[in-house]
Amino acid sequence: MAKISPVSIKYMIHANFRVEGALEKPDIIGAIFGQTEGLLGSELEMRELQKEGKIGRIEVEIERKDKITTGMIKVPTALDQSETTLIAAAIETIEKIGPCDSQVEVEKIEDVRGSKRDYIIERAKKLMSEIGGKTDSREISRTIKDSARTSEVKEYGDDKLPYGDLSEKEIIIVEGRADVLNLLRAGIKNVIAMNGTKLPDSIRELSEKKEITLFVDGDRGGKLIIQNVVDNARIKYITIAPDGKEVEELAGKEIFMCLRKKVPVKEFSYKGSYSKRSFEKEEKKEKHGLSDETKKKLREISEKSKGTGKSLLLNNSFEEIKSVPVRSLATTLKKMRTKASFVIIDGTATTSAIKAAEESGIQALIAKNFTTTETKIELIGF
């Protein structure tokens, strides 16, 4: 298989794993390729991505203690931000390595270009100071202005979300820090990042006070983010980068053009995804039958279950019917006779679990992440 050039790497996925058994590195790498096969379609097939040089050599560090194997998995990618997060979420769905039960959790997704950029900028400043003779004053002025704008990035809330200025009535939500920096360079300060595909609680709370415009990349990841954010926060407008482009890549004119083309949520439709839908708060409540108070109660219960690695099945009165390991949820739902109303997962909701929940008549499913959003069940992140 082709080995990716270190120069082309954009992101590094860092994932921890725990296996109840003694295994070798080839077993773990084989499980990554085998158990993610077919999850995300042919365009994001990990074997093919590695052949094309879009995923690099997967590194595995293992440590054995008694009959337990733990360690770290590192997956370098040259994919864009949204595709990299999809690959990371797919890796978390691995439930078995060889004959042994396993748990895989993504610790972080590192932007490896960040450290290179810092070095380049600092080195360039030093080299510029050493250059004798005349210097283009306009270029220096532009550099100083850009530096002043990007230095205004601050951190918001417990999630430490990068933002510019939140004093305006209208706020623009983007995917990552690089998007925030690009908008600041264009002179747009009222912007904050989600830091991934999951909707942070601090942005959900912010949406109750501000008029929110959601600005996403022009790819499939952007579509998933739109569905997740609109279902879980109060969004007024949506705008999308040109097809195949990321917000961080856009020039200033392109950014302003996209923002001028923003569409009210109730008029938005995603080509080839779903027909025109109204996402007004009252209509959404009628569709799902869940009030804000119910969602708040479910999130409170989910907070208490963090770190347990369990799935909770609740009735309409929020009483616990059953508690099972996350990996056993799909099987349990299919076999249960007592009907549950809500499911809380301490981890990622896999496609099989979401499908089983839908077939069991579950009203809402609460989890950290979702491998798919194509379902009639209301999905709530925490």
Packed helices 220-232 and 81-91: angle between N→C axes, nearest 10 degrees: 70
The ranges assigned to domains in the chain are: 6-111, 136-281, 289-381
Identify residue 200 by its one-letter amino acid code: P
Q: CB neighbours (10 Å) of residue 304?
A: 11
Q: Are 301 and 315 in contact (CB under 8 A)?
A: no
Grouping H, G, I as helix, E, B as strand and the rest as coil, residue 211 is strand
AA identity, residue 269 = S
Q: How many CB atoms lie within 10 A of CB 108?
A: 10
Instruction: Return per-residue pLDDT of the chain as tens, 382 residues.
Output: 444 444 478 889 999 999 888 888 888 888 888 888 888 888 888 888 888 888 988 999 988 888 888 999 999 998 888 889 999 999 998 888 888 888 899 999 888 877 777 788 888 888 877 775 555 656 655 565 556 455 567 888 888 888 888 888 899 999 888 888 888 888 888 999 988 777 888 888 888 889 999 999 988 888 888 888 888 888 999 999 998 889 988 988 899 999 988 989 888 764 433 333 333 443 344 344 578 888 888 888 888 888 888 899 998 888 888 888 888 888 888 887 667 889 999 888 888 888 888 888 888 888 888 777 777 788 887 6
- The pTM is what? 0.38
* Superfamily (CATH H level) for 6-111: LOR/SDH bifunctional enzyme, conserved domain (3.30.70.2690)
Q: Is 259 helix (H, G, I), strand (E, B) or coil?
A: helix
Q: For residue 236, give the nearest of 258, 257, 210 by alpha carbon.
A: 210
Output the pLDDT for position 212. 92
Fold classification of 289-381 (topology level): Cytidine Deaminase; domain 2 (3.40.140)
Q: Do domains 6-111 and 136-281 have the same CATH topology?
A: no
Query: Domain 136-281 adopts which CATH fold?
Result: Dna Topoisomerase Vi A Subunit; Chain: A, domain 2 (3.40.1360)
Give residue-wise pLDDT tens across range 100-133: 888 899 999 888 877 777 788 888 888 877 775 5
Count how many Cα atoms sit within 13 Å of the Cα of residue 273 in the half-sphere of its side chain.
17
Give burial (CB, 10 Å; 0-12/13-18/19+) of 150: middle
